[in-house]
Amino acid sequence: MVSYGGIEIAGGVTDAEIYGNSIYYVPSPHAPWQWAPYDFPAATRIVTYGNGTNPRSIHIRNNIFVTNGNDVRLVYNHLTRPVDVVFQGNNYHNYSG
């Protein structure tokens, strides 16, 4: 089990092409996100570092995202200035509803 995200992109990541993945995400019952108010578990997380550095030119295409658990997001986006972040052709499913 993972603590934060099946795919996590943070800070100064640039020019990333993420495609053709199958992500099945079940959060750990003892994950550290339980104590952080803005860190939510998700199949995919895109976040800004504390110093304000944002990922840019991130293309997430043709993936399968599946989650299993209450309060689990398929995508969590916490960017201060998103620049060229694309989700295209992905499939999403949450077994919890």
Q: Which residue has the tokens 């976040």?
A: 47
Q: Tell me how many domains the chain contains.
A: 1
Q: In this predicted model, which residue has the larger pLDDT, 73 or 13?
A: 13
Looking at residue 75, what is its pLDDT?
85
Q: What is the pTM of this model?
A: 0.80
Indicate whether 72 pLDDT > 80: no
> Phi then psi for 36, rounded to 5 degrees?
-110, 120
Task: Find the domain containing 44 and state its range.
Answer: 5-94
Residues ≥6 apart with Cβ < 8 Å to 70: 96
Q: Are 59 and 13 in contact (CB under 8 A)?
A: no
User: What is the C-alpha separation between 66 and 13, in angstroms, rounded?
Assistant: 24
User: What is the C-alpha separation between 78 and 30, in angstroms, rounded?
Assistant: 22
